[in-house]
Amino acid sequence: DAPLPAVPVTAGLREAGALGLAGPRARLTGLARSVLAQLAALHSADTLEIVLISADRSRPLAERTTEWSWLGWLPHLRPAHGQDCRLLLAHDREQATARAQELVRRLEDHSSDTRTGARPAPAAAGTRQPSWARPDDGADPAGGFAGPYSVVVVDGDPGGADVRETLARLALEGPRAGIHVLCLAETAAASPTSPVADTYEAACAVSPVFRACGAVALLSGDVATALRLLRVARTAGETPAGPVGHGTLGTVDAVSPAWAERFARALAPLRTDAPAGGDRQARVAAPLPQAARLLDELGLARATPASLMARWADAADDAHALGGRAHAVLGAGPRGPVTVDLAAEGPHLLVEGPPGSGRTELLRALVASLASADRPDRLGVVLMDGRDGVGGDGGHGEGLAVCTDVPHVTTHLAANDPVRMREFAQSLSAELKRRAELLGRSEFPEWHTGREVSGRLVTQRTPHEDASDSATGPDDGDLDSPPSSTMRLRPGAARRRSAAVPPLPRLVVVVDDLDALVTPPLGSPGRPAAGSVVRALEAVAREGGRLGVHLVAATAPGGRTAQTEPALRAALRITLDAPAPGPDEPMPGRGRLTRPDGPAVVFQAGRVTGRIPRTATLRPTVIPLEWHLMGDPPTRRPVRELGNGPTDLALLASALERAAREVEAAQVPSLL
């Protein structure tokens, strides 16, 4: 066969890790535009993001922004993983530091997930992939990475020594986390008077990141219209030793700025068709906010009955939430809202923190979040204040009493009446006994599964039975007994009604200041009955998981509480930090959630008793934008609460009450 006159010269970023381009500025930028246009055309914005770092002070800012202005139109530069910027651009050293830190956090998150065995999930069915992609292209053969990928364009010297070291580390270690560096260095074209080795060293002097690239393309020729693609050898210590071999010769395929502008503007309006009800990709870790609003984390900034009823309908259709969904959002985490599922991960939760750490506010937020997840006839909440209504954070607040307007709350008790406390303990123990007799040896989900299956069987009627029913009486949805000569002493319908089993909802018992019940202070009105309440709570901790009863308790760290059943049997634990003084410190509620089979997750608890924000705070702000400012954090108005307005909890409770009336949901019976 005759040799082909010309074939494409390609470089695989997954094989090379990082790619360096070096040559005269005009040809170099034309080649870079061509490479980035190919990447953007072949990968959707949810599988590839492009980051530009062009902070070389040896070139004027106006020249750099004009040269790369076309890139800002691509949807691949929109921050989709929690980055604090308008576009993934960096035209000064502060922006370069921010982009580098965001990428390092992603690298460290990937390393942490790899150590703990938590690998990224494979792409879901229906996820859009390039037409040329192979079925096994979803994972990196080296590390099993499933995306999204990032291409970091480093144009010249990125800035200070710390940024250089960070980007060099990303060039070496980033490919295992899907981060690939494309480094540009302005040099003279390779020629007989400037050999390849000299051009390579000149490029490394211009940009120290260039030396960390696994493959380089050096422009050559009198007018730099040719290139030589070379592999860079590495030593055992991961330090590149320099290009090896003669490489592959090719002709530069460059595009003009006008072509790139038209191309990027054509792609600008494109959006990916992500599957409904889920994120397109896992979010990259971001710094925690100083304060968090629970309604924002719940996605209920405008809490309406319609939005709540939609959530309740989803819970009713969830096959994994039979008998009631016990899913709660705690607050803001590094990758978005931090959630717990008492049914799947619990069954019990213990909150520990010193006075002033936000224990009571976290319990209030948990009650509000649980209520927004399911109907009040499928989930009941019992509240217990252990300090006579005094907030566990040391102040004489209302404790959990502010949550009583939530329709899911069936009972609220403060430790100030020994008679009611003993009655509460007896009623809670009786409820556990009733559920144990009703479930028998079955678990709570199994019992509901069997009840649902039997309900479907009962509603299946044959035409003969339907005809007989229409002749004898109304259809009650049950099967008739087979014909018998035995005389009936009572009507069959009455027998069937008496055999009907009532629904069994989930029950969540929320206790604030458990330590005050375990060790009641001298002179406390509820001291004589505190022991009976603690014994009932210990029974919930031992047996409640099987019976659909969950315990959420808050306590101060240490003391006798650590040896009680609620503390020993709590699979989920939250540790809140001591409050730090100062306006720049986070508000109370900063803590860590520990699950039985995973690392601790830090979060900022969502606040639910703050006043609703002023409407002026939520209005859009219009400001002039320049390309060199697109890498800065977005301008945000400070959130100002409405001084005499309702709290977020009151707003949510009102919407919950109206939604419960709309769906005609009956409240779970009270224990008192």
| Three-state SS annotation for 478-521 | CCCCCCCCCCCCCCHHHHHHHHCCCCCCEEEEEEECHHHHHCCC
Residue 587: band (very low, low, confident or very high) from pLDDT cuts 50, 70, 90 = confident
How far apart are the C-alpha atoms of 276 and 264, rounded to whole Å? 27
Give 116 or 483, the one with higher predicted confidence. Answer: 116
How far apart are the C-alpha atoms of 559 and 308, rounded to whole Å? 40
Give 247 or 529, the one with higher predicted confidence. Answer: 529
Q: What is the pLDDT of residue 31?
A: 95
Q: What is the pLDDT of residue 329?
A: 95
Cβ-contact 228, 203 below 8 angstroms: no
Q: What is the pLDDT of residue 310?
A: 92
Q: What is the pLDDT of residue 46?
A: 87
- Indicate the DSSP class of residue 335: T
Element (H, E) at 22: strand 19-23
Model confidence at 613: pLDDT above 80: no
Give 180 or 225, the one with higher predicted confidence. Answer: 180
How far apart are the C-alpha atoms of 528 and 65, rounded to whole Å? 75
User: Percent of the chain scored above 90 by pLDDT?
Assistant: 51
What Å distances lie between residue 129 and 78, 135, 140, 458, CA to CA? 19, 10, 15, 46
- Average pLDDT of 234-241? 60
Give 463 or 571, the one with higher predicted confidence. Answer: 571
Q: What is the pLDDT of residue 193?
A: 66
Q: Where are the beta strands (DSSP E) in 83-177?
A: 89-90, 149-155
- Pairing relation of β-strands 349-352 and 336-341? unpaired
- Indicate the DSSP class of residue 55: -
Q: What is the mean pLDDT of the chain?
A: 81
What Å distances lie between residue 426 and 358, 433, 537, 553, 668, CA to CA? 31, 11, 11, 19, 18
- Indicate the DSSP class of residue 611: B
Burial (CB < 10 A; 0-12, 13-18, 19+), residue 287, is: exposed
- Average pLDDT of 108-134? 51
What Å distances lie between residue 199 and 43, 216, 217, CA to CA? 32, 11, 11
What Å distances lie between residue 16 and 19, 110, 140, 205, CA to CA? 7, 20, 13, 21
How far apart are the C-alpha atoms of 286 and 567, rounded to whole Å? 31
Q: What is the pLDDT of residue 488?
A: 39
- Average pLDDT of 88-117? 85
* The pair of three-digit structure tokens given for residue 267, joined into one six-digit string: 């792609």
| Three-state SS annotation for 35-74 | HHHHHHHHCCCCCEEEEEECCCCCCCHHHHHHHHHHHHHC
Q: What is the pLDDT of residue 72?
A: 93
CATH number assigned to the domain covering 292-442+504-610+647-663: 3.40.50.300
10 Å Cβ neighbour count for 583?
5
User: Percent of the chain scored above 70 by pLDDT?
Assistant: 78
Q: What is the pLDDT of residue 498?
A: 36
How far apart are the C-alpha atoms of 102 and 174, rounded to whole Å? 12
Percentages of the chain per state (helix, strand, coil), in multiples of 5: 40, 20, 40
Which tens digit of pLDDT belongs to each residue from 16-56? 999 999 999 999 999 999 999 999 999 999 899 999 999 99
Cβ-contact 439, 543 below 8 angstroms: no
How far apart are the C-alpha atoms of 73 and 79, rounded to whole Å? 13
Residue 137: band (very low, low, confident or very high) from pLDDT cuts 50, 70, 90 = very low
> CATH number for the 13-117+144-267 domain, one of 3.40.50.300, 3.10.450.50, 3.10.20.30, 3.60.140.10?
3.40.50.300
N-terminal to C-terminal alpha carbon distance within the chain: 92
Dihedral angle sign, alpha carbons of residues 526, 528, 533, 538 = positive
Cβ-contact 595, 345 below 8 angstroms: yes
Model confidence at 479: pLDDT above 60: no
CB neighbour list of residue 74: distance below 8 Å, 6 or more residues apart: 40, 45, 50, 264, 267, 268
Q: In 83-151, which ranges are continuous DSSP H helix?
A: 93-116
Could you tell me which of 339, 393, 334, 390 has the C-alpha nearest to residue 361? Answer: 393
Q: CATH topology of 13-117+144-267 equal to that of 292-442+504-610+647-663? A: yes
Which tens digit of pLDDT belongs to each residue from 245-283? 788 888 988 999 999 999 999 999 988 765 433 444 455
Picking from 191-200, 303-312, 506-515, 652-661, which range would have the lowest pLDDT averaged per residue? 191-200
- Average pLDDT of 85-92? 93
Model confidence at 5: pLDDT above 70: yes
- Indicate the DSSP class of residue 630: T
Most confident of the ranges 223-232, 395-404, 473-482: 223-232
Q: What is the chain's length?
A: 672
- Average pLDDT of 379-398? 70
pTM of the predicted protein model: 0.71
Residue 116: band (very low, low, confident or very high) from pLDDT cuts 50, 70, 90 = low
How far apart are the C-alpha atoms of 148 and 283, rounded to whole Å? 10
Contacts 24+ apart (CB under 8 A), 60-63: 61/91, 61/92, 61/628
Angle at CA of residue 204, ends 203 and 206, nearest 5°: 65
At 302, give phi and psi (nearest 5°): -115, 90
Q: What is the pLDDT of residue 494?
A: 36
Cβ-contact 18, 214 below 8 angstroms: yes
How far apart are the C-alpha atoms of 383 and 487, rounded to whole Å? 52
Q: What is the pLDDT of residue 142?
A: 41
How far apart are the C-alpha atoms of 65 and 654, rounded to whole Å? 51
Q: What is the pLDDT of residue 397?
A: 57
Model confidence at 395: pLDDT above 90: no
Model confidence at 369: pLDDT above 60: yes
Model confidence at 400: pLDDT above 90: yes
Q: What is the pLDDT of residue 567?
A: 92
What Å distances lie between residue 606 and 295, 304, 509, 593, CA to CA? 8, 19, 20, 14
Could you tell me which of 89, 53, 572, 34 has the C-alpha nearest to residue 251? Answer: 34
* The pair of three-digit structure tokens given for residue 396, joined into one six-digit string: 């004489």
- Average pLDDT of 64-75? 95
Domain segments of the chain as ranges: 13-117+144-267, 292-442+504-610+647-663
Residues paired with 227 in a beta bridge: 219, 250
Most confident of the ranges 77-86, 355-364, 456-465, 590-599: 355-364
Q: What is the pLDDT of residue 671?
A: 87
How far apart are the C-alpha atoms of 560 and 562, rounded to whole Å? 5
Cβ-contact 608, 294 below 8 angstroms: yes
Burial (CB < 10 A; 0-12, 13-18, 19+), residue 572, is: buried
Q: In 299-443, which ranges are continuous DSSP H helix?
A: 305-317, 342-345, 359-373, 418-439
- Average pLDDT of 666-672? 86
Q: What is the pLDDT of residue 224?
A: 76
Burial (CB < 10 A; 0-12, 13-18, 19+), residue 521, is: exposed
Cβ-contact 329, 295 below 8 angstroms: no
b/e 399-437 (16+ beta carbons within 10 angstroms → b):
bbebbbebbbbbbbbbbeebeebbbbbebbeebbeebee
Q: What is the pLDDT of residue 641?
A: 55
- Average pLDDT of 350-365? 94
Q: What is the pLDDT of residue 570?
A: 94
How far apart are the C-alpha atoms of 491 and 480, rounded to whole Å? 11
Judged by DSSP in three states, 69 sits in helix
Cβ-contact 414, 401 below 8 angstroms: yes
Model confidence at 336: pLDDT above 70: yes
Which tens digit of pLDDT belongs to each residue from 297-322? 999 878 899 999 999 998 888 777 77
How far apart are the C-alpha atoms of 351 and 343, rounded to whole Å? 17
Picking from 173-182, 567-576, 663-672, which range would have the lowest pLDDT averaged per residue? 663-672
How far apart are the C-alpha atoms of 220 and 227, rounded to whole Å? 5
CB neighbour list of residue 228: distance below 8 Å, 6 or more residues apart: 190, 196, 217, 218, 220, 246, 247, 248, 249, 250
Residue position matching structure tokens 């204040």:
385
Model confidence at 475: pLDDT above 50: no
